[in-house]
Amino acid sequence: MENIKYTSKGKTYYDVKGIFQPDPRWSIFEGAGSLDQYIEKFLFPECLGPDVDKTLLEQEVLIKKLLLNGYFEYEFITVAIHNSFLMFEVGLKIYFKNLTGTEFQGTLHKLIEQYEKLSIINRENRSVLDMIRHIRNHFAHPKAYTVVPPAVIGIIKLVLTVINDLEKIHKERSSAVENI
């Protein structure tokens, strides 16, 4: 098998065993025939802020690596979305503890309910969290294995936004307490 060379943004990558073949579904269904087109179309600059919990920052890096490697294996998008749902739930628990001083034990539904009861979020915010939870539940309790379309990448962006918003709320409340 001959060495295959990929070049993207001035960097050259060699695939000596032919493992990293572009998944043909990208060019057939999504019009991303090259790695550069894929990156431009499906990777996003949104990211977690630097003050977000280290565990969540590490998960973000993993998710973005999965998305990048999705060019070579379409199903990596599915793995990335699964990991973003884990990051979502862990993030809600981390910020619940940061905001209330207590560990939350219970279902994701009850956790989101507590956020609203404690006025950490309002009704509109709750509907966004519930939407993510419903989608997550479809992935957590599937009736069949599903390969997700690239449209779900928007959900990953939404999860990052939720976590950044929780960090912002935490900072605002911490600052308010310090100023008393």
When the pLDDT of each residue in the chain is averaged and rounded to a whole number, the result is 88
What pLDDT is stored for residue 5 in this prediction?
Answer: 67
Q: Is the pLDDT of residue 141 over 90?
A: no
Q: Evaluate whether residue 156 is within a structural domain.
A: yes
Q: What is the rounded distance in angstroms from the CA atom of residue 155 to the CA atom of residue 179?
A: 36
Average pLDDT, integer, range 89-108: 96
Q: Is the pLDDT of residue 61 over 50?
A: yes
Q: Evaluate whether residue 77 is within a structural domain.
A: yes
Q: Within 10 A of 90 (CB to CB), how many other CB atoms are there?
A: 15
Q: Is the pLDDT of residue 112 over 50?
A: yes
What pLDDT is stored for residue 20 in this prediction?
Answer: 72
Q: Evaluate whether residue 51 is within a structural domain.
A: yes
Q: Evaluate whether residue 144 is within a structural domain.
A: yes
Q: Within 10 A of 80 (CB to CB), how many other CB atoms are there?
A: 23
* SS3 (DSSP) at 13: strand
What pLDDT is stored for residue 180 in this prediction?
Answer: 59
Q: Evaluate whether residue 39 is within a structural domain.
A: yes
How many separate domains does the chain show? 1
What pLDDT is stored for residue 146 in this prediction?
Answer: 75
Higher pLDDT, 119 or 152: 119
Q: Is 160 exposed, middle or buried (0-12, 13-18, 19+ CB in 10 A)?
A: buried
Q: Evaluate whether residue 3 is within a structural domain.
A: no
Using alpha carbons only, what angle is made at residue 80 by residues 76 and 82, rounded to the nearest 5 degrees? 115
Q: Is the pLDDT of residue 4 over 70?
A: no
Q: Evaluate whether residue 89 is within a structural domain.
A: yes
What pLDDT is stored for residue 1 in this prediction?
Answer: 45
| Contact assessment for residue 77 and residue 32, using Cβ atoms and an 8 Å cutoff | no
Instruction: Find the domain containing 82 and state its range.
Output: 24-178
What pLDDT is stored for residue 81 in this prediction?
Answer: 94
Q: Is the pLDDT of residue 147 over 80?
A: no
Q: Evaluate whether residue 8 is within a structural domain.
A: no
| Contact assessment for residue 94 and residue 53, using Cβ atoms and an 8 Å cutoff | yes
Q: Quick one: DSSP state of residue 75? A: T
Average pLDDT, integer, range 57-77: 93
